[in-house]
Every structure is written in C-alpha cells, then in structure tokens.
Structure 1
Amino acid sequence: MFTAAGLSTALVVFFARMCDVGLGTIRHAMIIRGQRLMAFSVAFCEALIWVYAVSRVISSVSDPMTSLAFALGFASGTYVGITLEGFFKIGEQVVRVFTPYGTEVACSLRDAGFRVTVFDGQGRDGVVNLLFVQVRRRQAAKVAALAREVDPECYIVFDDIRGADTVRK
C-alpha cells in the first residue's frame, strides 16, 4: 500500500513539479517582457527539474500516489508562480488615468516625483483629461492611490509595457 519510500518519492515529485511549473510561469512573464537572457536561464532550470520529476514518476508508474503528486505539484506550481510574479512585480507599466481634474491629479503625481503626460479629450459627459504615467510595476499602486486622493471617481487602466525607447536626462 503506502510505503515510506513511496511517500518520500511522491513528496520529491510534488516539490520538484511545483518548482518547475512555478519557474515556467515566471519564464512566461520574462518572455512577454522581452527579457531573453532571464527567460533562457529560467527555462534551463525548469527543464532540468522537469526531467528529474518525470523520471521519478516513470520509475514509480505503478504507484498512483506519485502520479497524484505530479498533478498536484503542477496545480500548486501554477499558484506559486503567479504569486511570485505578483510579489516581484517585474517590468514596467503605463498607468492611464481618465479624469476631469487632470491638472490637479497631474500636479499631485508630479509632486510625488512621477513624470506625467496630459492629453485633453472629450468624453460622454464633457471634457476629460487622459494622464499617462510610466512607472515600474511596484509603483503603479501608488500612482493609483495618489490619483484617487484627488479624484476618487477617476477611471484607471494599467498596461504592461513590453518595451519602451526613452531618453532620460
């Protein structure tokens, strides 16, 4: 039935699979953001771990606990990878703020050190300003909070940036 060796193999497979799928999720984020070398490095580690996990499952194919651990590790790795990617917040975003109080919101953001570009537009209810703010992902929530302090009803959109060509002075 259940042996100590079978249980330890299942635990190793579970953790190996959780690691390789978690790395796969992070690798996808690196690919989307155009970070080739990082994606390459992560893919190499991911493949090594995957080969190890699969070899353990194949060598213990008669033990359903190992196969179950493989599947559970896959599901857990997806969760872990998404959580880690959200924690590290790798990359940059454009925060777009739609508000009739563009001047005030822009001043607040600029006072906090953010670079803001303002466009005038016409919305359903009249004049509206569109503010573009390019920031690191970990700063996007701060931009939104500052904008909401000035206009609690502003509409905010977050866009991931794959690449940008900027000149900074």
Structure 2
Amino acid sequence: MKETLLILLLQLIYVPLLTLRTIFLVKGLSVIASQLAVLEGLIYVFGLSIVLSGESSTLAMIVYAVGFGIGILLGAYVERKLAIGYTSLIVNLERKNEELISFLRNEGFGVTVFEGEGKDSKRYQLELLTKRSREDELILLIEECEPKAFIISYEPRRFKGGFLLKAMKRNKRKKVNEKSTKT
C-alpha cells in the first residue's frame, strides 16, 4: 500500500513539473526548463521503477495513470496561478469611451486607440498589453464600464519597445533605488 501511495505522490510531483517545464520552454526560459527537466527525469525513473518492480503491478499501473491525470490538472492550476508572461487584449467599442481610456491608463495599462468603420457606424478599438497576472482584473475593469465590449485576448510571443516596457524598466529602477536608500 505504501508503494501505491508513493507512486501517486510521485506522479503528483512529476506531471506538474512536466507541465511547467514545457511552459517555460515555450516561453523561452530554457535554463529554468532544463533545471526542471533534471528533477522531472529523476522522479520519472524512480516512479516507473517502483511501478515495474512491484508485486501488485496492475494496481500500481492504474494508480500511475490516475496520478498522471490528476497531475495534469494540478500542473494547469499551478500554471494559471503563476500566470507567466503577457497578454494582449483587443477591445472593440461602439463609442469612444474617454473615461474608460483615462481610467485604464491611470491604472497603469498602456492603451492605444484606433478608429474604424463597422457595418453600421464608426467603431473604436483599444489595444492593450499587460502581464497575464492582471488579465482578469483588466477584463473586469473593461466590462464594468463597457458591458457590450467585444474582447479578444491572446498571448504575444515577442514584442519590443512601447509604454509597457518603459514602465517596467522605470518600476525596476525605482525598486532598486528604494532598496539602496534603505540600506
């Protein structure tokens, strides 16, 4: 019974590591991904050796498979909580909402506004880039002011320049300066 629980525990560690390693690799963080791969490999070999050497191999194999499935859910949950990376939102509005635009900018979001032509009238499009950890907050802010807004969210692979990067560099310098004045 101890072996069966150990197999389940190992899968609940192994599969989330596998999920995170894959995500870090896709996001270009290959050093972290390779470090996780070492841990993942050790856990995989250890867990599989227990499964293949145990007397109750059918039960061990089932627990191994179930642990894998639960581990996928756990890995996805951890990834959502970490919210690594950035998200880009395109928001289509029926009218130019200056109040919303100003509010979003005051909240630290970079907003670019475009005017376009819809089927029946002019439309306005807001383009925003933010950290994934703030995506839900941003969508709620938009929905409060513009319940009929059409919102598209996607993850950009690469970007360069712009308001967000300048703001992040300013904040980083500000934090470094604050730390140096405290010591």
TM-score of the two chains, using structure 1 as the length reference: 0.89
1:74 corresponds to which residue?
A: 68
1:20 corresponds to which residue?
A: 14
Cα distance in 2 between the residues matched to 1:91 and 1:150: 26
Greater mean alpha carbon deviation, residues 59-68 or residues 78-87: 59-68
1:62 deviates by: 4.6
1:41 corresponds to which residue?
A: 35
Alignment of 1:135 with 2:130, yes or no, is yes
Cα distance in 2 between the residues matched to 1:96 and 1:89: 19
Alignment of 1:159 with 2:157, yes or no, is no
1:145 deviates by: 1.4
1:115 corresponds to which residue?
A: 110
Structure 1, residues 8-37: CA drift from partner, whole Å, max 9, x if none?
101111111121111111122212222211
Amino acid at match of 2:43: I
Greater RCO (Cα-Cα under 8 Å, separation 6 or more): 1
Partner secondary structure for residue 24 of structure 2: helix
Amino acid at match of 1:129: Y
Partner secondary structure for residue 148 of structure 2: coil
Identical aligned pairs, as a percentage? Answer: 27
**Superposition CA RMSD, Å:** 1.6
Cα distance in 2 between the residues matched to 1:116 and 1:128: 16
Please say if residues 102 and 131 of structure 1, whose CA atoms lie closer than 8 Å, have aligned partners that are also in contact.
no
1:161 deviates by: 2.3
1:89 deviates by: 0.9
Change (3 A) 1:128 1:61: farther
Structure 1, residues 34-77: CA drift from partner, whole Å, max 9, x if none?
22112112222111111111111111165322111111110010
Instruction: Provide runs of 4+ in structure 1 moved above 3 Å.
Output: none
Please say if residues 61 and 67 of structure 1, whose CA atoms lie closer than 8 Å, have aligned partners that are also in contact.
no
Aligned pairs, number: 163
Query: Of the candidates 87, 92, 105, which is equivalent to residue 86 of structure 2?
Result: 92
1:168 corresponds to which residue?
A: 166
Q: Which is richer in helix?
A: 2
Cα distance in 2 between the residues matched to 1:109 and 1:61: 61
